[in-house]
Amino acid sequence: MSHVLVTGGAGFIGRHVTAALLAAGHDVRILDSGHPAAHKRPLPPDIHGVPVTHADLRDADTVGAALDGIDAVVHQAAMVGMGVDLADLPAYVGANDLGTAVLLAAMASAGVRRLVLASSMVVYGEGAYECPVHGPVRPAPRDVADLRRGEFDPRCPRCAAPLDPMLVDEDAPLEPRSVYAATKVAQEHLSAAWAAGTGGTVAALRYHNVYGPGMPRDTPYSGVAAIFRSALAAGRPPRLYEDGAQRRDFVHVSDVAQANVAALESTAAGAAAGGLRAYNVASGRPATVGELATALTAALAGPAPIVTGEFRAGDVRHVVASPARAAAELGFTATIPPAEGFAAFADAPLRG
């Protein structure tokens, strides 16, 4: 049994991680800021019977006290999603990067040497692609003029041929294309520097598109699954950006929780002292955003999705993960197929 501090333990993923750690026999402590981007209501006094310390990660004294007697930290706390606009930039950097820096400094002082970090697939930017002529290539960011014409798929930077999306693995270059993505890359780099300086180990779990019960209701920071659910609950059709053919890997939150337990308990994760090791956390069964909307619509007998052709700067076209490293090194394989998970999510409770 380990004594584990879960930051963000009152949030969507954090609640499931806390439950999974308790079920695995670990002692858990929760620290959560109750940030309004994730919580529309006051924090409860406890989660699954674990008292919640209501504090910002940037409060060094409270974080230091929360680490007393702790063996490992599972760091879920972060502002997530695309946000509203660039006015959100200071809030993202403050919550995600400065908050992580304060946590790492406190861990160094407290002698805590094990970290499981909630990272994200957004660190990759676009996923992996292959040109039929030139092989594996990295496409440039999509041109707004092309997007306005409805040309959504990246093309080969050498010959302009259409590209085939491939599986992206953890050794792919990091190319963040949004403020949130940049903060997640910074969290990984800060954690790697902490590990090198302390001899600690970091398992950076790069979550793909997480969905499941307890997602926050429709906000600018919600995941697409919750946004579609909220629209259908209001009798509105899901609205698909671009043409709805964007490929993603949708992974159920209960699988994500088990990945955290596996990373905490594994002797392979960040095996070398002073090291960070990244892992895709994904279902291994890609689906399009349109398929998600169609599945939810069918389960709820709602209005058919609408393809809008609209787009957002910073969005990427296809990100499909290879889950092989997590399977080989952590013994983690997602168990819930997307079709089954989507159907169950259609009437799962959301969090206000």
294-333: pLDDT as tens digits: 999 999 999 999 999 999 877 899 999 999 999 999 999 9
What is the DSSP pairing of strand 201-207 with strand 275-281?
parallel
> Using CA atoms, how far apart are residues 200 and 311, in angstroms rounded to an integer?
41
Segment 135-162 mean pLDDT: 93
Segment 66-84 mean pLDDT: 90
φ/ψ (deg, to 5) at 156: -60, 130
For residue 37, pLDDT over 90 is answered with no
> Using CA atoms, how far apart are residues 195 and 116, in angstroms rounded to an integer?
12
Query: Tens digit of pLDDT for each residue in 226-262?
Result: 999 999 999 999 999 999 999 999 999 999 999 999 9
For residue 151, pLDDT over 90 is answered with yes
Please report which confidence band the pLDDT of residue 1 belongs to, taking 50, 70 and 90 as the band edges.
Answer: confident
- Higher-scoring residue by pLDDT: 217, 258: 258
For residue 272, pLDDT over 70 is answered with no
* CA 101, chain centre distance (Å): 19
Query: How long, in residues, is the chain?
Result: 352
CB 225 within 8 A of CB 209: yes
* Three-state DSSP class for residue 69: coil
Instruction: Report the predicted TM-score, pTM, of the whole model to 2 decimal places.
Output: 0.94
For residue 270, pLDDT over 70 is answered with no
Query: Which residue has tokens 């939810």?
Result: 296
Sheet holding 164-168, edge to edge: 135-137, 128-131, 164-168, 320-321
The reported pLDDT for the residue numbered 150 is 95
For residue 269, pLDDT over 70 is answered with no
> Using CA atoms, how far apart are residues 225 and 245, in angstroms rounded to an integer?
15
- Higher-scoring residue by pLDDT: 150, 39: 150
Task: State in Å, rounded, how far the first CA of the chain is from the last one.
Answer: 33
In order of 123, 142, 321, the CA distances from 157 in angstroms are 21, 11, 22
Please report which confidence band the pLDDT of residue 84 belongs to, taking 50, 70 and 90 as the band edges.
Answer: low
Please report which confidence band the pLDDT of residue 136 belongs to, taking 50, 70 and 90 as the band edges.
Answer: very high
